[in-house]
Amino acid sequence: MASNEEIKEAGQFLGHRFPPEFIDRDEVARLLQTSVHGVDLLRKGRQIPAVSFPHNVFLFRIADIVDYIASQKKLPKKTDAGYVYVLSADEFQPVCKVGFSTYASKKRVDAANTYCPFDIVLITEYRVRKSREAESVAHAALDDRHVKGEWFNMEGEGFAILERALQDFIVDK
């Protein structure tokens, strides 16, 4: 943990007391069950935002850590549960990516936004059992709308076709 002196100095640097909604690297490492080095990699990769203070003190907002932990929660493997999601470069674009993930879809959106030159948005997601199989069934149902890879033209009845294809897999809406 940051020493009391470092926290006091950081607070003076900001011109106010150290805010209670922040925690330090060591506490984040404990919460995430990782090393301080692991926390630094997450910070440098911008997966967890941090506030930098003098003397290499990095503090993290508790709310950001909670969001990160929630985005990393995996569903139980034994059921192969997961999500079938629909992503698009714009919420009004008819061409969308239909994929699956065993993680919450927010993580997929964040990952896509690191390599795409435009913002990717989550259009919808379905919590499903047998996520790999559900994705395959969805792709087969949308085959006549195929554009490239996992991208499909969802214009018109695309979402209705997708929901009908997934009806036997959806766990809850």
Q: In three state form, how does the secondary structure of the chain look?
A: CCCHHHHHHHHHHHCCCCCCCEEEHHHHHHHHCCCHHHHHHHHHCCCCCCEEECCCEEEEEHHHHHHHHHHHCECCHHHCCEEEEEEECCCCCCEEEEEEECECHHHHHHHHHHHCCCCCEEEEEEEECCHHHHHHHHHHHCHHHEEECCEEECCCCHHHHHHHHHCCCEEEC
Q: 4-72 sits in which CATH class?
A: mainly alpha
Average pLDDT, the chain: 77
pLDDT over 80 at 151, yes or no: yes
> For residue range 69-112, what is the model confidence (pLDDT) as tens digits?
766 655 445 457 888 999 988 766 789 999 988 777 777 788 77
Q: How much of the chain exceeds pLDDT 70, in percent? A: 76
pLDDT classification of 156: cutoffs 50, 70, 90: very high
> For residue range 33-55, what is the model confidence (pLDDT) as tens digits?
777 777 777 777 777 788 776 66
> What predicted TM-score, i.e. pTM, was given to this entire model?
0.54
Structural domain spans, the chain: 4-72, 77-172
Q: How much of the chain exceeds pLDDT 90, in percent? A: 22
